[in-house]
Structures are given as structure tokens and as C-alpha cells.
Structure 1
């Protein structure tokens, strides 16, 4: 059985993080790693109380938090080093129990990377803002045109073999993280697939789509990243 670790970047997710951690199936996932990304609330305490390993990354940025979690997992001794890393947001918009869907293609040697697609799955009304839907469409269209990659979503809920992930040489520290992974996977001919995942309204307000500035900055960074790795 493959060893699986989940990395959850978390910035001010005190109200949701315990539910996220609590819904992760413990019989499948060996360790849940919450990376407290400079939160000003009690995210770290709530995550630890729920049973997660808590790391602290004081530098703001989604990519910074992900890189911190990866470095921790990759540095483990061989007997506990994970085979697969799953990324999951800490806002309870995804359904953590659906991790089994993401892992199945990897465990069956059908893929090395699996993207949880909200576009293919069941999405609650109002769970994604119009700008998110449009941004995903635009980004996946550009990935198809310039990389020949057939994705329907940049969903944050994703699974990837650790060795494959390390070979990608991830660098982005902010909004471009997800699209960087998909663009580099396409360039390196990583075997990937998508599975439908469910999506609901998040707990709290999004730091990205919930503000005009966040939306503009994220959109700019995503498009810039797509062209950067051509």
C-alpha cells in the first residue's frame, strides 16, 4: 500500500481546518500536514487539536506553504517517506473524503498526477464565483493551445507521486502554483488524468476570489506563469 501524506496550506482557517482534518480518512492517509501560512488567528492550534502535524511558514503565499510541506515530506527517512502527496485547501470547500477518488488512478498505475476537477464534478450553487469559472476556462484553454494539455480545471485538490513532484522543480510562491504544476507536467510528459470532485461554498471569505485585488493578481499571475514555461 502506498504511503500518502496530505499537505494543507492554511491562512486564517481557524473556523474550518478542524473539519477538513477530521474528514480525511485515516485508514488511507498516513499523515496530515497543515502548513500555517502566517495566520493571525488560531489556525495552528485548531489543526493540532484535530490531529494534524503543524508546520509554520511565515512568508505569505500559497506556493510558499506548499513548498514548506513538500520539503518536510521529502526529508523523511525512507521508511516513512510518502509515495504520494495530496494537496487540499483548508476552507472546507472540497470534500476530504473524496481523496480516495484522486488516489485510485495512481494506486492502479494509471497516472502519476491526478487533478480533482470541479468542472466535471458536482458543484454547489455559489461555490465558485463567475470570475473563478471564467479564469479556469481561460487558463485551461491556454494550456491546451500552448501545451497540448487537456485539463478542465486548476483545482487545488490534487494528488501526485512525490518523486514526480520533485522532478517538476516547483518554484512559484504565490498564485501561480497550481498552473505551474500542470504546465510543467505537460512539458515533461507526466502521465496525468482528472477525476470529478464535489465542491461547496467555503467557510469564510476567499482571500483570492473574495476581493477585486486578489482576483486581478491571481489572474495576472496564472496567465504569466502559463507563458513563462513555454
Structure 2
């Protein structure tokens, strides 16, 4: 299991998905974060090819819709925590370390995150948006 998974729902984000993935990879490298990038895709352009070429795990949706994309992406992610972000380059992925730090502090002090079952429409990992 990786430390964090960044789940990105996409639909025709060919122009910006590469920028997002490269920013996330830079954050992972600079902050020594063991992470993965999951792209939940429903595109008709070259978004999935670009994402795969840059090392993201690309999953094709069974059902359309923004919420379904996140739900499907969460199910495929292996990160201990999940960070959500869109593929249109509107999220500041450079904030990932700051989002994770309070969670790490809680664990260092002996606190744990509450886990529940995703099948019951609850998250089974810490989610940061």
C-alpha cells in the first residue's frame, strides 16, 4: 500500500492532465512521498494515453458521471490516504504535503483515522479534499 493516492476524474482533459500529473510527481519526489496517481477516465480525446505515458494508473469508468469517477477511482486506489483533485489544473497539488501533515501528526500521537466500508458508501481510508 502506498502512503497516498491522488484520484483524478477526467473527461477530455488532454490539454491539462499532463501538467497535473507532473506537478503531483514533483511533489512526491521533493517531499519523499510514496504515492500513486489514479486517473478515473471517461474521455474521447487522448487524456488516458497521456496519463498512462506519464505513469498514472488509468481506470476506465463503467458508469458516467463525476461522482462515479471518484467512487471508481477510490475503489482502485491503494493509498493509505486519498487526495482528490480535478484534471483541469485548477487544484494546487503543491498543497498535498500540507494536507497530509495533520494526518501524520495524529498518527504520531497515537490517534487513528476511522475506517469504514466503501461498499456502504463510506470511505475506508483517510480522504483529503
Q: With the length of structure 1 as denominator, give the TM-score of the two structures.
A: 0.44
Contact in 2 for aligned 1:84/1:162 (Cα 8 Å): no
Name the structure 2 match of 1:4. 4
How far apart are 1:82 and its partner, in Å? 2.4
**For 2:73, what is the secondary structure of its paired residue?**
helix
2:33 is matched with 28
2:64 to 54, 60, 82: 60
Q: Following TM superposition, where does structure 1 have runs of at least 4 consecutive aligned residues deviating by more than 3 angstroms?
A: 164-168
Greater length-normalized contact order (CA 8 Å, ≥ 6 residues apart): 2
Q: Report whether the alignment pairs 1:102 with 2:99.
A: yes
In the alignment, which of 78, 81, 86 is matched to residue 84 of structure 1? 81
The higher radius of gyration belongs to 1
Q: Give unpaired runs (5+ residues) of structure 1.
A: 74-80, 111-160, 171-180, 182-191, 195-230
Change (3 A) 1:162 1:47: farther
| Secondary structure of the corresponding residue to residue 87 of structure 2 | coil
- TM-fit CA distance, 1:34: 0.6
Structure 2: state its 5+ residue gaps: 108-112
In 1, Cα distance between equivalents of 2:106 and 2:53 = 35
Q: Specify the SS of the correspondent of 2:98.
A: helix
**What TM-score do you get using the length of structure 2 for normalisation?**
0.76
